[in-house]
């Protein structure tokens, strides 16, 4: 599925006005429970700096800010950010891209993303950025739609996505194309085990997940290592992966033996 950043941001602009109400209806009230689980898992402490990536209308950010932590919400949809700033004056909101975070390295105690990673064009690049801006020992919490492990439930859920969700979205006055995109992006999104591997691949340790609502949603956790040797080995591995393979110039090529 092609997720052009401009098109994704534009699509979220069109649903920004009704986003929260549609979300609450479509999730059957479960959205509030998922948010509560995220706040509990993060357990933000007063004085900690928390980055909420893909914050949307700021509902996820404000739930974290209530605990006394300093929360920064980031999103690339101006329409979603407009709603966020209007509703939640206590939180700082920044326009930016999850794949190029506008922050220095080792800045945050916590990085979190709820229902955002699936929409990012290159989720592995976003995970690398999350790792970069976290302080050593910092906590990562990702909440995302996932794959119910029980086949019967999975079939029922996919039927709901295909037939019930578009009807509900139409009744709440939402953009039908956006909810078609939601269905397709959920179906194509990797399962719990694969996302855990991606998180480990970005360098995180203590990676684990917990299913919420029978696996319709999964909450993933990880830590940026504290140990200097582990940090150095992750940096070396990433450097080796991004360094271009040297091409031999004609001048330093050895003559071929006949
Ligand atoms: C489904 S909303 C989730 C909003 C909020 N976190 C919540 O839980 O209600 C997904 C958000 O991800 C944002 N988003 C998608 N890709 C992004 C990217 N590359 N950088 C920043 N924000 C992005 C969209 O603009 C949208 O506001």
Rounded CA-CA distance 154/162 in Å is 12
Q: Is residue 73 part of a domain?
A: yes
- pLDDT top residue among 250 and 53: 53
CA distance 250 to 258: 18
Query: Are 209 and 220 in contact, with CB atoms under 8 Å apart?
Result: yes
What CA–CA distance (Å, rounded) separates 154 from 63?
Answer: 29
For residue 185, being part of any structural domain is answered with yes
62 CA distance to ligand 1 middle (Å): 15
Is 239 within the bounds of a domain? no
Q: Which of 116, 124, 169, 189 to mutate to test the pocket of ligand 1 (most atoms within 8 A of CB)?
A: 116
Domain presence at residue 249: no
d(CA 256, CA 47): 65
Residue with the nearest Cα to atom 6 of ligand 1? Answer: 55
CATH of the domain at 53: 3.40.50.150
CA of 129 to the centre of ligand 1 (A): 15
Distance, CA of 174 to CA of 23 (rounded, Å):
10
Residue 258 binned pLDDT confidence (cut-offs 50, 70, 90): very low
pLDDT tens per residue, range 98-155 = 999 999 999 999 999 999 999 999 999 999 999 999 999 999 999 999 999 999 999 9
Q: Is position 236 within any domain?
A: no
Query: 251 CA to middle of ligand 1, Å?
Result: 50
Does residue 90 surpass a pLDDT of 70?
yes
Distance 236 CA to ligand 1 centre (A): 31
Gap from CA of 56 to ligand 1 centroid (Å): 5
Q: Which residue, judged by its Cα, is nearest atom 16 of ligand 1?
A: 120
Poorest-pLDDT segment among 39-43, 79-83, 185-189, 247-251: 247-251
Half-sphere exposure of 176 (CA within 13 A, CB side): 7
The yes-or-no verdict on residue 257 having pLDDT over 80 is no
* Mean pLDDT of all residues in 216-224: 98
Distance CA 42, CA 65 (A): 12
Helix (H, G, I), strand (E, B) or coil at 66: coil
Q: Please state the φ and ψ torsions of residue 152, each to the nearest 5 degrees.
A: -65, -45
CB atoms within 10 A of CB 68: 12
In a domain, 240, yes or no: no
For residue 178, what pLDDT band results from cuts at 50, 70 and 90? confident
Number of structural domains the chain divides into: 1
User: pTM for the full model?
Assistant: 0.91
Residue 255 lies in a domain: no
Give me the sheet containing 205-212, strands edge to edge: 92-95, 70-75, 49-53, 108-114, 134-145, 217-223, 205-212
Residue 115 lies inside a defined structural domain of this protein: yes
- Ligand 1: list residues with CB < 6 Å: 5, 8-9, 12, 54-56, 59-60, 75-77, 80, 97-99, 114-116, 119-120
Q: What is the DSSP string of 217-249?
A: EEEEEEE----HHHHHHHHHHHHHHHSPPPPPP
Q: Which domain holds residue 14?
A: 5-229
């Amino acid at each position: 599925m092609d997720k052009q950043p401009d098109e994704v941001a534009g699509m979220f602009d069109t649903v920004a006005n009704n986003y929260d109400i549609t979300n609450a209806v479509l999730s059957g009230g479960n959205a509030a429970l998922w948010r509560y689980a995220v706040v509990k898992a993060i357990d933000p402490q007063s004085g900690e700096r928390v980055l909420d990536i893909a914050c949307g209308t700021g509902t996820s950010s404000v739930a974290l800010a209530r605990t006394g932590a300093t929360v920064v919400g980031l999103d690339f949809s101006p329409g979603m950010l407009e709603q966020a700033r209007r509703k939640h004056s206590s939180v700082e909101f920044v326009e930016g891209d999850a794949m190029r975070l506008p922050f220095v390295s080792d800045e945050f105690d916590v990085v979190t993303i709820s229902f955002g990673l699936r929409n990012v064009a290159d989720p592995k690049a976003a995970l690398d950025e999350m790792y970069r801006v976290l302080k050593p020992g910092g906590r990562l919490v990702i909440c995302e739609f996932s794959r119910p492990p029980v086949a019967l439930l999975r079939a029922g859920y996919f039927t709901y996505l295909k037939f019930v969700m578009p009807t509900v979205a139409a009744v709440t006055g939402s953009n039908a194309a956006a909810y078609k995109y939601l269905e397709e992006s959920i179906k194509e999104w990797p399962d719990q085990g694969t996302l855990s591997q991606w998180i480990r691949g970005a360098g995180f340790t203590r990676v684990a997940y917990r299913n919420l609502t029978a696996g319709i949603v999964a909450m993933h956790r990880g830590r940026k290592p504290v140990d200097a040797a582990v940090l150095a080995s992750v940096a070396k591995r990433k450097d080796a992966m991004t360094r271009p393979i040297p091409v031999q110039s004609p001048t330093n090529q050895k003559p071929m033996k006949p």
